[in-house]
Structure 1
């Protein structure tokens, strides 16, 4: 006696399985913007840092000396400008009395303007010196996870070479980069156009992740980017999903598998997972043929939908798939189907464990 599942057309999710790689949403390369010797590393490697947090301290002595020189030049220029303005103020009434020539007065005004311009120029140089001095405290440009330091205390860094100090990655959320062959993309589009797949473009396309060991990531993501061009080298189309990552369990560069739920197939076929037998040659099921005997039927499996396999081909509507006592049945043997009453009695029987 066996239990069976009668194949019938059902609405099933259109699941596309693709391999992918985790990528940080934002990556900032922290580089030196001044020349100098690294005095201290101010953060712990591999920890989260906030935007603006000091990461490295570069020896500021040389830049402090340069700033002091510019400051002295500014004070000298301000004194010269003040004296030039005083000369103009003295000359102004004398011009009206014709005590001095107009040419002398114009020369004094020109000298005053030149002195004021010199003050403005040196103020700009002082602001630049302050900016350079501020770069000796290397700060985080973004919030995220700071990786290991690329330099140690005592290392000479260069602004011209933009010496790399460390990298910061934002890990919540993260991206998953995927690629799908252009032929598969065209097949999905054709099925949508023909009405075989129902797809609402206004809704977010949800995505599930599984790790290399087969474990499932518990938080769903969604498809946030679909490239409309085909890579001429690989013949694939790029897709990208975004996933929340509050526990930082998804790491950049990690290999994952993604299930993309892209609409629903109207008249699909799926059967209980326990009905499918897997071997090195493929997947198969036992069905009851027209003579009431067990027969092996090879099937082309799609992805798992919960506790059921999606069947791409190999079964037709109305087929009776055997889902119990699979190890005891041999192909060609006559089988009987459990009635509802017999099935109910079997479900009510206590297990051998409870009887003990």
Structure 2
């Protein structure tokens, strides 16, 4: 009897307990506090890019003929003057070619004199009807061919004479040797760059612009330049030129910034920083901690002032700052944004909005 009672009582008790658990009302989740802020004006949004002071004109110097370098007369950093010798090639080959061409000129002159004497003799014989007209014409043609050959050889001699002078590389203008790419004994080809000359005169700043923001910049755009030697002073400038193609390795676009003020104390190779302000309206900004992202798309949590519930709002942002990030699209100045803990929130969640001092915010009083 006891065993039968237990078999009936235990299942009934379990059923009652389970029924009691199933019939109970669900427990409500506590309303969490959430620190909220309103977007603030970002102020003037400015990007900065590091750069290097360069000469506006930087011709790459090369020999006009090929050969073996016999002398290197300057090095990087040397100040040079116009027509100053910079390097020399072994002149033996060009001198031999010059002498060979000179000998060809002498031979052509001798042949021309012989052809002229033959033509004059045939002319006298023709006047006495001792030779035919065709024989005289042959002598005349031989003379003219000799004259043309002499002119050709003289032109070749001028070329050889010029090439003998090309064995010495000279500075095309005053400046500083910015780069050297040869050593004594090296064999170089015609047109191969051996020096880069930083010409005296205007100075510019070379910077690299990022690929994703390249469309925001244009030639003639106003900028400010800060030099490493004078970090507290900014000089006015403008973008003078922009490369139409990205660098194959860095994927950035080279740009040159010229100074628009008077004389600027900028030295070659000096470090600089270029500040470029964004054009258009001043955007809003929110704290970095308010921003989250999913699949590369940024969003923030906006609090509904009527129900204190959360709504996920997609935004388009600008370059990140140290503490704030500009929001270009998606928010208004009247929105309330959760400033922290965005990763643990969910759509439609009800929160208790508080400020940074943990004081409850009354949205009705704020309107």
TM-score range, shorter chain: 0.5 to 0.7
Are the equivalent residues in 1 in contact too, given 2:75–2:180 (CA < 8 A)? Answer: no
- Distance of 1:268 and 1:11 partners within structure 2: 5
Change (3 A) 1:150 1:250: closer
Are the equivalent residues in 2 in contact too, given 1:227–1:237 (CA < 8 A)? Answer: no
Are the equivalent residues in 1 in contact too, given 2:62–2:193 (CA < 8 A)? Answer: yes
Q: Name the SS for the 1:219 alignment partner.
A: strand
Q: CA RMSD in A?
A: 4.9
Tell me, which stretches of 5 or more residues in structure 1 are unaligned? 1-8, 190-200, 270-277, 283-299, 318-330, 335-356
- Distance of 2:66 and 2:170 partners within structure 1: 13
The structure that has the greater radius of gyration is 2
Asked if residue 177 in structure 1 is aligned to residue 226 in structure 2, the reply is: no
Residue from 145, 148, 151 that aligns with 1:120: 151
Report the equivalent of 2:142: 111
Change (3 A) 1:55 1:110: same
Are the equivalent residues in 2 in contact too, given 1:15–1:262 (CA < 8 A)? Answer: yes
Counterparts of residues 249-328 of structure 1 (less than 5 Å): 249-251=267-269, 256-263=272-279, 265=281, 312=326
Total equivalences in the alignment = 268
Change (3 A) 1:95 1:63: same
Superposed CA deviations along residues 249-278 of structure 1, whole A, max 9, x for unmatched, are 2528x5x53211344536889xxxxxxxx9
Asked if residue 30 in structure 1 is aligned to residue 61 in structure 2, the reply is: yes
- Distance of 1:230 and 1:69 partners within structure 2: 50
- Distance of 1:93 and 1:119 partners within structure 2: 25
Are the equivalent residues in 1 in contact too, given 2:55–2:268 (CA < 8 A)? Answer: no
Query: More deviation in 69-78 or 169-178?
Result: 169-178
Report the equivalent of 2:195: 166
Shift of 1:66: 3.1
Shift of 1:105: 0.8
- Distance of 1:30 and 1:102 partners within structure 2: 59
Shift of 1:22: 5.4
Q: TM-score, normalised by structure 2?
A: 0.55
Query: More deviation in 223-232 or 45-54?
Result: 223-232
Shift of 1:117: 2.1
- Distance of 2:96 and 2:176 partners within structure 1: 35
Tell me, which stretches of 5 or more residues in structure 2 are unaligned? 1-39, 291-317, 335-355, 360-367
- Distance of 1:120 and 1:169 partners within structure 2: 42
Shift of 1:84: 1.5
Q: Name the SS for the 1:122 alignment partner.
A: helix
Q: Name the SS for the 1:249 alignment partner.
A: coil
Q: TM-score, normalised by structure 1?
A: 0.56
